[in-house]
Chains A and B, each alone.
Chain A
Amino acid sequence: MDRALAVLSQIEEDAKKVKPTDVEKEVDLEYDIGLLLASDPNPLDHDALHSADRDGYLQRLARDNCQLLFNRLYQLPTQTKDDVTTVNLPAAQLRIPREKPAPKPKPLTKWEEYAKAKGISRNKKGKKIWDTELKRWVPRYGAKKAQADREKNWVMEVPANVDPNTDMFAKAAEKKRERVAKNELQRLRNVKRNMKVPTVGVTPKDVTKSSTSELTEAAALARRSTASLGKFSQRLPRDAPTKERGKRRQFAPAVGDTRGEVRGQLELLQNLGRKEKGAVVDTEKAANRLIHQEQRERAASKEDKPKKGGKKRWIPNTKKGEKQKKAIAKKAGKGRKGAKGR
């Protein structure tokens, strides 16, 4: 009896230590169990907040809300595995914004762009192909396909226009290698097109699209960017020599030896005004003669040209018309003869 009482009293004491699991709230909380989120819309007790026991009030409030959240958690179906109880959280209902920026769509390859523009869609191809010669299903690619090809091409004809000693098998293999290499090249080109090379400062992002001046500027800058400012940078044999960089315009000081400055300027003038030695030809006379000659030639060529007939007359194909034609021919003949005579 005493022992039973002792146990009961122990239980009571224990129960008092632990706070009750039921919590009464005016308004129920809003739960998002998937995110382990519980939001309490109940208004805060202002008296308690401004009292001395503010911390205690807030702690009790937090404890109560946590208890309610845990109550909900315990309502979910549990699974035990190796002494560990787990609970499957449902999907989150609240949409949280992205942590990182959204991934950009992969850039289309050259073929894909073309296909999109033309409206060509991909035909889904099967893995095996029916081979009419071998009369069985042959895979489209792979070792079994290569085997089937060898079976089919156990002999290869040498066409008439080719040297009879050529190895047709070797040629076929070579062609295949070329095709593979071309495909690889195009794939790499696609990759290169879309690959973003990290560039700093002046270096252009796309080398193929930048102008010569941009590239030379970048190269010059790279050459200069050493501890010794490019003094010992080796230049490539085909590089163009760079322009000397430094002060482009040198100005003499404003106030200085004015007399000396005047003297220097007058000397400079002397050197400028000096006439060329040995100028024997009188350019004026020569120019005059040439112009006169040109004018005479022009005048002479004008006289030689036959006079263009002013109006074109339609002459009928009759006796009268023939008379008119003869008269005109006579006139023209006279004119020409006259000119030649001179």
Chain B
Amino acid sequence: MTINCESSIGENIRLLLERPDGLYCFRLHKDRVYYMSEALMRHALSFPRHALISVGTCFGKFTKSGKFHLHVTALEFLAPYAQHKIWLKASMEQQFLYGHHVLKSGLARVTENTAKYQGVVVYNMKDVPLGFGAAAKSTAECRHADPTAIVAFHQADIGQYIRSEDTLT
């Protein structure tokens, strides 16, 4: 597991691995990290590497320079364990789902002690997880920022299920 993912969920990650309904594991396939049950993993072994497109859920991928990018497909697994959250106003919600960054004017709430560039999970006012982001300002800085400043960078959102339907694995 990578730092990026860990920083947005914290110690609740162990709940992903210590599941009561069996063993789950992460596997790296063609620079992408997939989360699957052990049984599924053993089934997937029977495929040749070039023929296997996807197994289980894709959590993200490693870029050519070694960075890890979280994908929106990991949202349902990681959202319940998020430690740092951002709530968006209704006006900003649409903008975020179109792929724009979060401005101060659209920020409703932020969890305390969010460090700068911390990975966050973005929610709307009805507590529906919308996607992942990275805090551009710490909580304290957010309070003193002007309304047009970016407070969170967009990383992944559920709008991508429609926008980039054909590229999601």
CB distance from B81 to the nearest CB of A (A): 12
Q: At the interface, yes or no: B17 with Cβ under 8 Å from chain A? A: yes
Which chain B positions have C-beta within 8 A of A269?
1, 6, 11, 13-14
Q: At the interface, yes or no: A287 with Cβ under 8 Å from chain B? A: yes
CB-contacts of B71-122 with A (<8 A): 112-113
Q: At the interface, yes or no: A268 with Cβ under 8 Å from chain B? A: yes
CB-contacts of A247-306 with B (<8 A): 251, 254-255, 258-259, 261-262, 265-266, 268-269, 272-273, 284, 287-288, 291, 295
Q: At the interface, yes or no: B146 with Cβ under 8 Å from chain A? A: no
Which of B126-134, B137-145, B152-160, B161-169 lies at the binding interface?
Answer: B137-145
> Once bound together, how far apart are the Cα atoms of A263 and B28, in whole Å?
18
The range of chain A's interface size is 10 to 19
Q: At the interface, yes or no: B149 with Cβ under 8 Å from chain A? A: no
Which chain B positions have C-beta within 8 A of A284?
112-113, 139-140
> Once bound together, how far apart are the Cα atoms of A212 and B60, in whole Å?
37
Q: At the interface, yes or no: B147 with Cβ under 8 Å from chain A? A: no
Which chain B positions have C-beta within 8 A of A254?
27, 41, 45
CB distance from B73 to the nearest CB of A (A): 20
> Once bound together, how far apart are the Cα atoms of A229 and B2, in whole Å?
37
Residue among A262, A265, A288 making CB contact with B140, cutoff 8 Å: A288
Q: Is the CB of B144 within 8 A of A262?
A: no
CB distance from A58 to the nearest CB of B (A): 66
Residue among A258, A272, A291 making CB contact with B3, cutoff 8 Å: A272
Q: If the complex has contacts A262-B18, A287-B138, A291-B140, are A272 and B6 also in contact, measured as CB distance less than 8 A? A: yes
Q: Is the CB of B10 within 8 A of A262?
A: no
Which chain B positions have C-beta within 8 A of A261?
25
> Once bound together, how far apart are the Cα atoms of A269 and B81, in whole Å?
14
CB-contacts of B14-62 with A (<8 A): 14, 17-18, 23-28, 38, 41-42, 45
Residue among B18, B45, B112, B141 making CB contact with A255, cutoff 8 Å: B45
Q: Is the CB of B11 within 8 A of A265?
A: no
Which chain A positions have C-beta within 8 A of B3?
272
Q: If the complex has contacts A255-B45, A266-B14, A269-B11, are A291 and B23 also in contact, measured as CB distance less than 8 A? A: no
Which chain B positions have C-beta within 8 A of A268?
1
> Once bound together, how far apart are the Cα atoms of A259 and B38, in whole Å?
10
Residue among B17, B27, B38, B113 making CB contact with A265, cutoff 8 Å: B17
Q: If the complex has contacts A265-B1, A265-B17, A266-B18, are A291 and B11 also in contact, measured as CB distance less than 8 A? A: no
Q: Is the CB of A287 within 8 A of B42?
A: no
- The chain A residue sitting closest to B42, CB to CB, is A255
> Once bound together, how far apart are the Cα atoms of A183 and B58, in whole Å?
71
Residue among B17, B27, B112 with the highest chain A CB neighbour number at 10 A: B17
Q: Is the CB of A295 within 8 A of B144?
A: yes
Residue among B41, B42, B112, B140 with the highest chain A CB neighbour number at 10 A: B140
Q: Is the CB of B1 within 8 A of A291?
A: no
> Once bound together, how far apart are the Cα atoms of A150 and B38, in whole Å?
100
Q: If the complex has contacts A261-B25, A295-B144, are A266 and B45 also in contact, measured as CB distance less than 8 A? A: no
Which chain B positions have C-beta within 8 A of A287?
138, 140-141
User: Which residues of chain B have a CB within 8 Å of any CB of chain A?
Assistant: 1, 3, 6, 10-11, 13-14, 17-18, 23-28, 38, 41-42, 45, 112-113, 138-141, 144
Provide a sorted-by-A list of 11 A–B residue pairs whose CB atoms are within 8 angstroms. Answer: A258-B23, A258-B25, A262-B24, A262-B25, A266-B17, A269-B13, A269-B14, A284-B112, A284-B113, A287-B138, A287-B140
User: Which residues of chain A have a CB within 8 Å of any CB of chain B?
Assistant: 251, 254-255, 258-259, 261-262, 265-266, 268-269, 272-273, 284, 287-288, 291, 295
Closest 3 CB pairs of A and B: A287-B140, A273-B11, A262-B17
